[in-house]
């Protein structure tokens, strides 16, 4: 895997705009290359502004009817729960786009977790095809970084970090809501591109550990992200990058 591309923007607003711009660019490239853009969304709060910009300022920059939306993880709550990653993306972006229902591939957080994980794996298989043992290749997976160094819902010490067969697993994490669904490393690491969006001084130590600390994915789960034939882009604001020795 090539070294990650690190892009440092002045402040969070610049970061959100640049992330939206880069996503629109990747969408255009993907649609030109293979007729669709498979976008895997991150949860949490950081991407909300970028999602809103994609649906407003960059609305005309993307051929939305060719975009397929997926999630990297989901909390085991109903889709209208304020904690739901789907709810956040729907409020900020999806509800503002004239999408067909079959463009939105929601993880069903309201269902029994193990069953929901299996169902999502079948949804991925149905869309991406591939033989047994093959993993979906997303055009872009957006990820965040927790201050405990987690990404998606891959948390420190979790056995999901070492999953090699399943595409989606149900986990119990040390954060509320505890029960979650998450893509596994083999899926994330089969992506064409992964884009981390990280903002704020509160993430600086986590960014430093993940990018410049000793390699220890059990301690720093975001280090597990290393696409074997893909690019990793770290989009940071100055505050989140402030402890890095090289930028």
The residue ranges that bind ligand 6PG (CB under 6 A) are 42-46, 73, 85, 144-146, 150-153
Residue 146 Cβ, how far from ligand 6PG at the closest point, in Å? 4
Q: At 7, phi and psi to the nearest 5?
A: -115, 120
- For 176, other C-beta atoms within 10 Å of its C-beta total 7
Residue 220 Cβ, how far from ligand 6PG at the closest point, in Å? 14
Q: Which residue has the tokens 């005309």?
A: 60
Residue 35 Cβ, how far from ligand 6PG at the closest point, in Å? 28
- Residue pair 10/239 in contact by the 8 Å Cβ criterion: no
Residue 157 Cβ, how far from ligand 6PG at the closest point, in Å? 16
Q: What is the 3-state secondary structure (H, E, C) of 15-84?
A: HHHHHHHHHHHHHHHHHHHHCCEEEEECCCCCCHHHHHHHHCCCHHHCCHHHEEEEECEEECCCCCCCCC
Name which of 61 and 148 has its Cβ closer to ligand 6PG: 148
- By beta carbon distance, the residue nearest ligand 6PG is 144
Residues found in the chain: 247
| Peptide bond preceding 177 in cis form (omega within 30 of 0) | yes
Name which of 24 and 76 has its Cβ closer to ligand 6PG: 76
Name which of 38 and 153 has its Cβ closer to ligand 6PG: 153
Residue 148 Cβ, how far from ligand 6PG at the closest point, in Å? 8
């Amino acid at each position: 895997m090539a070294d990650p591309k690190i892009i440092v923007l002045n402040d969070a607003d610049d970061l959100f705009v640049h992330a939206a711009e880069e996503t629109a660019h990747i969408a255009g490239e993907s649609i030109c290359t293979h007729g669709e853009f498979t976008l895997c969304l991150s949860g949490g709060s950081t991407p909300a502004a970028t999602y809103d910009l994609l649906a407003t300022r960059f609305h005309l920059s993307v051929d939305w009817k060719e975009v397929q939306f997926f999630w990297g993880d989901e909390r085991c709550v109903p889709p209208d729960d304020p904690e739901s990653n789907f709810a956040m993306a729907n409020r900020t972006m999806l509800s503002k786009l004239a999408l067909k229902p079959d463009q939105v591939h929601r993880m069903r957080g309201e269902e029994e977790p193990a069953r929901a994980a299996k169902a999502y794996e079948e949804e991925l298989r149905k869309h991406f095809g591939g033989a047994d043992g093959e993993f979906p290749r997303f055009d872009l997976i957006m990820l965040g970084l927790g201050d405990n160094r987690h990404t998606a819902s891959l948390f420190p010490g979790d056995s999901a970090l070492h999953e090699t067969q399943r595409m989606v697993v149900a986990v119990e994490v040390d954060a509320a809501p505890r029960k979650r669904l998450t893509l596994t490393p083999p899926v994330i690491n089969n992506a064409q591109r992964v884009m981390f969006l990280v903002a704020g001084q509160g993430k600086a130590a986590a960014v430093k550990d993940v990018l410049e600390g000793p390699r220890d994915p059990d301690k720093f789960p975001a280090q597990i992200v290393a696409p074997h034939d893909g690019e990793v882009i770290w989009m940071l604001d100055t505050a989140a990058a402030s402890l890095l020795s090289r930028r």
